[in-house]
Amino acid sequence: MKRRAFPMAWLLAPACLALAGLHLLAARRFAVGAFNDDAFFILLSKSLRTGAFALADGAAVTDPLPGFAALLLIPSWLVEPRWHLLQPMIVAFALLSVWLTWRLALRFLSPGWALAAALVVALNPVLVGLDGLVIADIPYLALSLALFLGAAALAPGSPAWALPALSLAAALGCLTRPQGSILGLSLGMAVWLRLGWGRGLAFLAGAFLPLAGWMLRNLLAGDTVTGFVANWKSQSFLFADPLQQAGHVLGLLGALFGQGLAGVTGPEALSAAAGLGCLALVAHGSVRLARGSEGVPAAAMATYVIFVLAMHSTWPLKEARYLIALLPFVVILIMASLRIWLERRPLAAGLLLLAFSAALLRHDLGFAARGLGPRPAFEPETMAWLAENLPAEARVESLAFHTVELFTGRRTVPPGLTVYDRHAWLASALARGVTHLHVSRGLLSGEFAYPSLPYLKLPTLESWARQTPYASELYANPREGTAVFRIHHPAPGRYFEAYTACLHARDPASGASSKILRRRLKAALELEPSLACALSAEEPGP
């Protein structure tokens, strides 16, 4: 009697359910607003309901791109104010990305290797660790996978609607993440190689015209095509020293591939070496796939990886989070390289996959364990107090500025970026009309501490508020580690004028004589006796 094969679905179904549960539990550990940017996207989705893409005071927003906020438009309206109900949507996109990884890998790899690629992506701690954050990274990942699948399926005999649909989806990618422009160009190359240059140009036109329209809107509303341009210009120091740039690239590879992909922790040199090893495997796998029957989509995929890495090399932050946009493509390319040595050694391949999966799962289970407790909320008592006690016209300063604005409805701004002491901070706050300061010790040690400069972090802000006579504590919550201060001055313009006089008096480049400097200091002291920089005016001099 012939033995029946064991149905693979009996193994895959519970495994898929377990993975879904893992991602859902990991997502539960986040309070909406923990990342600050997640609150910003929700605020922008609310702004889109009115036909604008702006802050509460009407200032036009030129970055981030509007695609993800548009995706949140209806879901955020349906769940408001229970924002945590948006988290399962992000988990669904993550699980969809795993399934799409498997489908895409099947075009390049055997079924077993494709399943292994999907498993590695599903268990990756960067993906699991970010799952549930209401940000664009994971939805964009699912979209980019779907686009590569669509491009791989294009052929001269494809339906007439296939190319316009692909172009429209690519336009959404361009409007969702900065990497979307690289995605559009890579897919355009694939269309050109498959269908000819005419259709390739038509695809690119459809993909980039909406982005061009958005940039024109930004230019008219905010005098820049995108806020990202100013950010990238400020990073030009990276190119001043080739050695510094090379070190930055090595650190980036270590963060993305060494830590984020291979899970290597420890000295930076070790993670950089692991990152270089992964990059070598990616390059080898790219060459092998480009020579195969699916060479066109493989070449497009490799092009996308190369240019996204190049883009991130111009940005000073080296965060494993940036692996998300590349994760499934890099895994597929690495699998294409590894199978040369392991395809005829199934036992060794299985043991290697098992060991690597166990190492990944160790991190993932830590995330999931933190999701077993009560659902966290972002400083609920403090946010409720702010919403109930601050006047509608209040202007709050906080490191969690988008989050505070989301939960309180009060206009909230970040601290100034050029404040180095108490007087500079107060002058900056008064000049911008700040009436209250929110401080939170949780922003220091949280999983996503706000990446501001060290002198802007607590306890610096709180200590400055306690030292100035123009700030008084209104509220403190030891359980949540928060405090709220009222910023008040009888004549804010006077303080700012006095502080400006101090700056001019202390400027050695002014070339002013000592008598002029003393006169400026005396004027500042008369305007604002509490200014420390003006106290030297009382000292005897020539």
Report the pLDDT value the prediction gives residue 288, as an integer from 0 to 100. 95
Give the burial string for 31-46 (b: 16+ CB within 10 Å, else e): bbbbbbbbbbbbbbbb
Rounded to whole angstroms, how far apart are CA atoms 247 and 235? 15
Predicted TM-score (pTM) of the model is: 0.91
536: its two tokens: 């030297």
30: its two tokens: 């986040």
What is the H or E stretch that residue 439 is in? strand 436-440
Q: Is 33 helix (H, G, I), strand (E, B) or coil?
A: coil
199: its two tokens: 């259709």
**Mean pLDDT (whole number) for 259-268:** 89
Please choose, from the candidates 120, 125, 90, the residue with its C-alpha nearest in 3D space to the C-alpha of residue 105. Answer: 120
- The answer to whether residue 188 scores a pLDDT higher than 80 is yes
Specify the higher pLDDT residue, 477 or 314.
477
Q: Say which DSSP state 65 is in.
A: -
What is the H or E stretch that residue 411 is in? strand 411-413
For the stretch 152-178, pLDDT in tens is: 999 999 999 999 999 999 999 999 999
For the stretch 114-157, pLDDT in tens is: 999 999 999 999 999 999 999 999 999 999 999 999 999 999 99
**Mean pLDDT (whole number) for 507-530:** 68
Residue 493 pLDDT level (bands cut at 50, 70, 90): confident
- The answer to whether residue 524 scores a pLDDT higher than 90 is no
Angle among Cα 256, 259, 264 to the nearest 5 degrees reads 150
Rounded to whole angstroms, how far apart are CA atoms 91 and 132? 6
Percent of the chain with pLDDT over 90: 67
Strand order in the sheet with 411-413: 411-413, 395-397, 436-440, 482-487, 471-477
- The answer to whether residue 305 scores a pLDDT higher than 90 is yes
- The DSSP secondary structure of 262-274, one letter per residue, reads T---SSHHHHHHH
Please choose, from the candidates 165, 132, 106, 109, the residue with its C-alpha nearest in 3D space to the C-alpha of residue 20. Answer: 132
Average pLDDT of every residue of the chain: 88
For the stretch 322-359, pLDDT in tens is: 999 999 999 999 999 999 889 889 899 999 999 999 99
Residue 6 pLDDT level (bands cut at 50, 70, 90): low
Report the pLDDT value the prediction gives residue 12, as an integer from 0 to 100. 81
Q: Is 469 helix (H, G, I), strand (E, B) or coil?
A: coil
523: exposed, middle or buried (C-beta count within 10 Å: 0-12, 13-18, 19+)?
Answer: middle
Report the pLDDT value the prediction gives residue 540, as an integer from 0 to 100. 39
For the stretch 413-470, pLDDT in tens is: 988 877 778 888 898 999 899 999 999 887 654 444 444 444 455 577 888 899 899 9
Percent of the chain with pLDDT over 70: 89
Q: Domain extents for the chain?
A: 19-370, 380-489, 493-538
Rounded to whole angstroms, how far apart are CA atoms 520 and 133? 52
- The answer to whether residue 506 scores a pLDDT higher than 80 is no
Cis omega (within 30 of 0) for bond into 374: no
Strands 436-440 and 395-397, sheet pairing = parallel
End-to-end CA distance of the chain: give it in Å, rounded: 113
For the stretch 28-87, pLDDT in tens is: 999 999 889 999 999 999 999 999 999 888 888 998 999 999 999 999 999 999 999 999
**Mean pLDDT (whole number) for 214-229:** 85
Q: What are phi and psi of 173, to 5 degrees?
A: -60, -40
Report the pLDDT value the prediction gives residue 370, as an integer from 0 to 100. 94
